[in-house]
Structure 1
Amino acid sequence: MRSRGSKFKQMRRFGCSGVVLAGLLSACASPSLRHGAAGNALLQPLQRIQVATTDADHDVVAQLLLGESALGHNDLKTAARAYGKASRLTTNHQVAERATELALAVHDLPAASEALARWHQLGGEPDVLAQADATLAMAQGHTRQVIEDGRRLVATHAPHAWERLVRVLVGSPDQAAAGQVLAAVATPERLPNDTQVWISMSGLAARLGRMDVAQRLATQTVQRFHNAPAYAWAGQLQFESGNQTRGRHLLEQALQKDPTNPRWRLLYASLLSRAGQSAAAARLLAEGPQSLQIYELRLALAVHDHQQASLQRIYRQLQQAKPPLRDQAGFLLGQLAEVLGRPGEALDWYGQVGDDDPHAFDADLRTALIMASQSRLDDAHAQLAQMQSDYLDQPAQLRQVNELDAVLYMRQRRYTQAVAAYTAALGEAGRDPGLLYDRGIAHASAGDIDASIADFRQVLQLKPGDIDASNALGFTLADNHRDLPEAEQLIDVARQSRPNDPVINDSWGWLQYRLGHLPQAEQALTAAWQAQPDPEIGVHLGEVLWQAGQKDQARQLFHRIQQQDPHNLSLQQTLGRLHP
């Protein structure tokens, strides 16, 4: 049966067969094949009498078709009503099962109770029925009944009985009741001889806030199984509860039980790192057999602690590692080379990352970034163009490629190409506020003010009151002498939210200049320049000083900015206009 959409997928919980409708339609259609034309000619007069057809409310096939159609439109309430009627008209227990789960999905508890009773009447798998009983009782708030149903469920010893219990409990909004049920059902005499089930129940208890049950089960798991997973889980719980001494003892026991398995060292080191003991974590990871995951965590710890010697040691070890580890480590070696300031080596490593490697996209993207950092911008764009072809059917990756392409074009002041790249990224991401904002900046830089204003207005539609968009739209309006009252309102909103932001104060000062309020403009722009000596702010302040008659100060400021950013376009335009 075809997919019904995300809500329906989440709603399915009991394992109802996907061939209910097809089977029933086939059964209903088969009698019509028994008589051909010759058979009709032999019917007796009374047999040829036309009997009125069943109305839709009493036609099981009609109700199933209605239910399936409603599911196709994600209309769960209509589907639940239709399947509820169908369950009363059929002897197929799968229809009653579907009716039960749909009624529960829309929280129609009376309907769910009726459908479940019908399901019991028609028969079904004992563990599935017990799960449904427990689910309904949980929804009704009958905790004692849930406990009884839960015990009946695990007593079936069905292969997935404990998984079904988990589904009942994690789906409940009443976590306290769920924890009470778990404590009553997941007892040593009921749990199977399976370490993973014991650990799972202890983990669920912790998730439900029953740390007492979680700790008790973890301790009992160790006492019963004495294996590495049991010690590791018990140690993790102790660590996370603040008892690091006991936790370390248990995790060391796990390592002794299974010394060649890197899983336990990774867990132990992760817990040590989270507890602020990164040096101890690094020492632990450096010992014993290595894996790619261990090297990744070692790298992260060394970067975090600025351990240059450790980074170089890891780099050498990975270079000398044997296959298949060495073959899997291309991306990690590229990252290490970047951190160590060896971009040429990083490019070589990234070039060795295979197309089937999970880091292939990241390696390609890092390649473009390194090329850009080396001022090889044409090569970077060529790399990104190849990626646009390679990842054409992967929207999320394609969006990142186009966005980086746009950023590089902005850096080159090739604003028309930047707009095109942002537009391509938006084609993959839809109306993304961040991309619209950036494209608005690119439009403004390209001189297309109407398009810039339109993008900023779209951002504010998607994120009403957004501070950055309000400031950007207000500044763009002010800079182009467009609707200054609206500009004032927008920038004032931004100022109230971030009164000390130099960028917003720059916008406010420039607006005051456009309004002819030179003293207010000079005050705001001077404060912005002192807080953040950015060339754009300085150009604005210089023009205000010039117009206020402070031409020597303006010339000094323009000279300083020219030394700071010789190719600043705003400065060039301002100097050309003022002729200082």
Structure 2
Amino acid sequence: MLSGRFKFKQVRQFAVLLALAALAGCATTRPAEAPKATRTGVQPLDRLTVAIVPPERDLEAQLMAGDFALAANDLKAASEAYGHAASLGDDPKVAARAAELALAVHDQAAAAKAVERWAALGAKPAELASARARMALDRGDTAEAQRQLDALIATGDPDAWREFGRILASGRDAAQAGVLLERIATPQRLPNDSTAWLAMSELGESLGRHDYATSIGDAALARFHNGTTYAWAGQRAFQAGDKAGAKKLFAKAVERDPKNPRLRMAYASLLVQLGDSKAATKLLATGAQNADTYTMRLSLAAKAEDKAAIARLYGEIRRQSDDVQTENAFILGQMAELLGKQEDALDWYAAVGDDDPRIFDASVRSAVILHQQGKDDDAHEIVAELQTNFAEHPEQLLKAFAVDGELYMDAGRFNEAAEAFDKALRVKADDTDMLYGRGLAYAEAGRIDDAVADFRKVLSLKPGDIEASNALGYTLADSGRDLGEAQSLIQTAREARPNDPSVADSWGWLKYRQGELDQAESTLRGAWAQRKDAEIGVHLAEVLWTRGHRDEARKLLNDVRRIDPKNAALLKTEQKFKP
């Protein structure tokens, strides 16, 4: 829109230049003759002036000003600019936009002027009634709002009830909106469309009108008996704590409309919440399939760690048409990953289209696979491309830098990881996840003061954060400083997560630093039994070595080597144990 208006301005200015050139051409192509003297000595071209339209009278200038203000999120300035534009032009869409913006900034005078201009330019009765109802609601005039909402419904516009709901849902006074809902959206007036009835019932719930919502929902079920009315009744039953009733109603919904994938997914979600994932999986496998049902089926199989089910689903989609496979390329990539088919996964992720909303995630997964294959340069190249492609999208850009940091962390390139998290923090300063990630990178790189500073900052932004408390406590204990503070921090984490082996590892290591070897050994043995993690194993081995149990310590390090042969703590401890 902006580029078109700039082009218009440029063409208009160029036309003036052409006019000047033509005039100049006429002057220079006449037969040469001596210039005639005038009383002032001024040539005709010297007297030529070009009329310049003041900005406040220039329609295009006002439209551009309005668009610039919107881009800067300055709604008041945008409203003023579009209001001027509406008075200068004859485009009803501009007047409609002016009215919308005036209502957004609660400028009643500007809204009234814009609506009247819109009416003069041919606005539909339903559009005018909608705008006037919103104006009345904004100034708290319930009676006028009801008159205009009644007028909106009376127009018979196909979208009248949808607009009615939108107006009340966006009102500033929920009590006022609730009163109008009950007065106007009665069973006698609602159309013969179950969607409208259910929308009003749902709106009633959101406005705190539970009795109204229930009566309209029950009436819709009695009148229409279709899948969506049964599903809405089931949802309300579940919210009321009637799980058995909800299950029966959802089963009825699917029975009434077995080809509706959304109803099957809703019922499957209920079954999962009721602890019957097996029944949910069976239900989802019946009937028509789409990307959502495939995704939910994959999620259930992955959660159950059922590789056989994943393989069957993978084969099922592979037997579909090329279009279906392309539409589900991201899901196929996930399944290939879970089945250990990395090359197939890369091919599927590469098939995800640029306009697919999952293209970012597909690229991330490709980078992770390449990293796992030892192709770090290729992995970081993909992430760098993401950083370029999503430079104007802060949320994705932040994630791209975080992925870069995690890949560097996993490769043991801790200073580069810290740089990646630092770039992420330039996108969103004080992001606690990025601060935590950079703190871990600093700690691994031996930059203890920097790590401590980042963990402390996380705790200042999120007091009591468990991960940060544990990380700061461990870092202090590992570096042998402020052990009293370290104990307090780790104890906070232990109280919050008494069965977390990572927290137990921190506590055991702290006890080792404090010289309490019995407690250190018992705590670390418990953590190692819960999780065969390389760091926990190395810590336990060092405690055992210190206590003179060297054969057991060496055996334990061999176990760790099989888990993570390149673990930095393992390599460091093995050097320490050499004679």
**TM-score for both structures, normalised by structure 2:** 0.66
Alpha-carbon distance change, 247 to 122 in structure 1, aligned in 2, over 3 angstroms: same
- 1:169 Cα deviation (Å)? 1.4
Alpha-carbon distance change, 150 to 524 in structure 1, aligned in 2, over 3 angstroms: farther
**d(CA) in 2 for partners of 1:95, 1:75:** 18
Letter in 1 for 2:343: L
- 1:300 Cα deviation (Å)? 3.3
Alpha-carbon distance change, 544 to 174 in structure 1, aligned in 2, over 3 angstroms: same
- 1:448 Cα deviation (Å)? 3.1
Contact 2:130–2:148 under 8 Å retained in 1: yes
What is the correspondence of 1:18-417 to structure 2 with a 5 Å cutoff? Answer: 105=104, 112=108, 124=119, 125=123, 126-139=125-138, 143=142, 146-158=145-157, 160-192=159-191, 196-214=195-213, 216-218=215-217, 231-242=226-237, 243-244=245-246, 245-255=248-258, 259=259, 262=261, 264-304=263-303, 310-339=309-338, 342-344=339-341, 346-353=342-349, 354-356=351-353, 358=356, 359-370=358-369, 376-379=372-375, 381-391=376-386, 392-395=388-391, 396-397=395-396, 399-417=398-416
Contact 2:439–2:451 under 8 Å retained in 1: yes
- Of 539, 542, 548, the residue aligned with 1:553 is 548
Alpha-carbon distance change, 443 to 134 in structure 1, aligned in 2, over 3 angstroms: same
Alpha-carbon distance change, 526 to 143 in structure 1, aligned in 2, over 3 angstroms: farther
- 1:231 Cα deviation (Å)? 1.2
What is the correspondence of 1:517-556 to structure 2 with a 5 Å cutoff? Answer: 518=514, 521-522=516-517, 525-526=520-521, 528-533=523-528, 552-553=547-548, 555=550
Provide the residue aligned with 1:437 in structure 2: 436
**d(CA) in 2 for partners of 1:434, 1:417:** 17
Alpha-carbon distance change, 434 to 131 in structure 1, aligned in 2, over 3 angstroms: same
- 1:182 Cα deviation (Å)? 1.6
SS of residue matched to 2:320: coil
Provide the residue aligned with 2:504 in structure 1: 502
- 1:319 Cα deviation (Å)? 2.5
Alpha-carbon distance change, 338 to 132 in structure 1, aligned in 2, over 3 angstroms: same
**d(CA) in 1 for partners of 2:156, 2:250:** 33
- Of 479, 486, 492, the residue aligned with 2:488 is 492
**d(CA) in 2 for partners of 1:437, 1:140:** 48
Letter in 2 for 1:298: R
- 1:291 Cα deviation (Å)? 3.6
Report Cα offsets for 1:138-175 as digits up to 9, x if no partner.
45656555434422332233454334322321123543
**d(CA) in 2 for partners of 1:279, 1:542:** 43
**TM-score for both structures, normalised by structure 1:** 0.66
**d(CA) in 2 for partners of 1:470, 1:306:** 32
User: What is the alpha-carbon root mean square deviation over aligned residues?
Assistant: 5.2
- 1:408 Cα deviation (Å)? 3.9
- 1:236 Cα deviation (Å)? 0.8
**d(CA) in 1 for partners of 2:127, 2:321:** 50
Report Cα offsets for 1:44-100 as digits up to 9, x if no partner.
xxxxxxxxxxxxxxx999xx99x97987865667988x89x999x999999999898
**d(CA) in 1 for partners of 2:114, 2:104:** 17
Report Cα offsets for 1:353-401 as digits up to 9, x if no partner.
42416344434433444455xxx5422x244134135422125555545
Report Cα offsets for 1:108-159 as digits up to 9, x if no partner.
xxx73x6666678778455455445544554565655543442233223345
- 1:234 Cα deviation (Å)? 0.3
**d(CA) in 2 for partners of 1:147, 1:419:** 60
**d(CA) in 1 for partners of 2:534, 2:170:** 57
Contact 1:403–1:421 under 8 Å retained in 2: yes
Contact 1:76–1:106 under 8 Å retained in 2: yes
Alpha-carbon distance change, 314 to 496 in structure 1, aligned in 2, over 3 angstroms: closer
Letter in 1 for 2:155: T
Alpha-carbon distance change, 559 to 163 in structure 1, aligned in 2, over 3 angstroms: same
- 1:452 Cα deviation (Å)? 3.0
Unpaired runs of at least 5, structure 1: 4-18, 20-58
**d(CA) in 2 for partners of 1:384, 1:480:** 33
Alpha-carbon distance change, 275 to 527 in structure 1, aligned in 2, over 3 angstroms: closer
**d(CA) in 1 for partners of 2:470, 2:175:** 47
Alpha-carbon distance change, 316 to 171 in structure 1, aligned in 2, over 3 angstroms: same
Contact 1:143–1:177 under 8 Å retained in 2: yes
Contact 1:543–1:554 under 8 Å retained in 2: no
**d(CA) in 1 for partners of 2:69, 2:359:** 42
SS of residue matched to 2:389: coil
Contact 2:129–2:152 under 8 Å retained in 1: yes
Alpha-carbon distance change, 343 to 382 in structure 1, aligned in 2, over 3 angstroms: farther
- 1:233 Cα deviation (Å)? 1.5
